């Protein structure tokens, strides 16, 4: 049984090394390129790992003098803020949080600040994706960067009112 019997739509010239093999490889390459491009556009919409990579990129893009001063702080990604996270906060529970800083900011740390659990910056990936809507990967990247900067500012003691005044 020849190769052309297994793929009858390609005919006997395929088995003989005709041009169909080159066209088939070319079509597969084009399909793979289109698939990769489409996956790149929607990856953060469907992949926590891809979103975490955007967060890591945003942290890496912070100026060196900021990165060097990020002390005892963990940056994590969660799907959404659970309602119990809102207890004791002045936040409307009907609004999704994009990010949250929990801990003792650098200005409030005193001489007794040691051997404490790390502060925590949490980015909530689903609300960030929803905030952007259909804006694509660049819009998601910008929103992640903006949220990272906002929460890092809280780590350094800048409150929401000051951030608003500064335009952030």
Structure confidence at residue 7 (pLDDT): 47
Structure confidence at residue 81 (pLDDT): 87
Structure confidence at residue 22 (pLDDT): 67
Structure confidence at residue 118 (pLDDT): 85
CA angle (96, 132, 37) in 5-degree steps = 135
Q: Between β-strands 119-124 and 73-78, what pairing exists: parallel, antiparallel or unpaired?
A: parallel
If the chain, 168 residues long, is cut into consecutive pieces of 10 residues, what is the mean pLDDT of each piece? 47 53 76 75 70 94 92 91 72 77 77 78 93 85 94 85 73
The answer, as to whether pTM is greater than 0.75, is no
Contact predicate 69/156, CB 8 Å: yes
SS3 category, 137: helix
């Amino acid at each position: 049984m020849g190769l052309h019997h297994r793929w009858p739509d390609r005919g006997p010239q395929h088995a003989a090394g005709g041009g169909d093999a080159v066209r088939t490889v070319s079509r597969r390459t084009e399909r793979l390129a289109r698939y990769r491009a489409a996956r790149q556009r929607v990856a953060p919409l469907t992949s926590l790992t891809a979103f975490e990579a955007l967060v890591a990129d945003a942290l890496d893009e912070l100026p060196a003098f900021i990165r060097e001063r990020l002390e005892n702080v963990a940056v994590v990604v969660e799907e959404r803020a659970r309602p119990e996270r809102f207890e004791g906060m002045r936040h409307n529970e009907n609004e999704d949080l994009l990010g949250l800083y929990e801990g003792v900011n650098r200005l409030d740390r005193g001489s007794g600040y040691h051997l404490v659990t790390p502060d925590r910056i949490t980015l909530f990936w689903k609300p960030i994706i929803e905030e952007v809507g259909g804006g694509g990967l660049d819009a998601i990247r910008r929103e992640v960067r903006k949220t990272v900067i906002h929460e890092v500012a809280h780590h350094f003691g800048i409150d929401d009112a000051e951030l608003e005044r500064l335009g952030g």
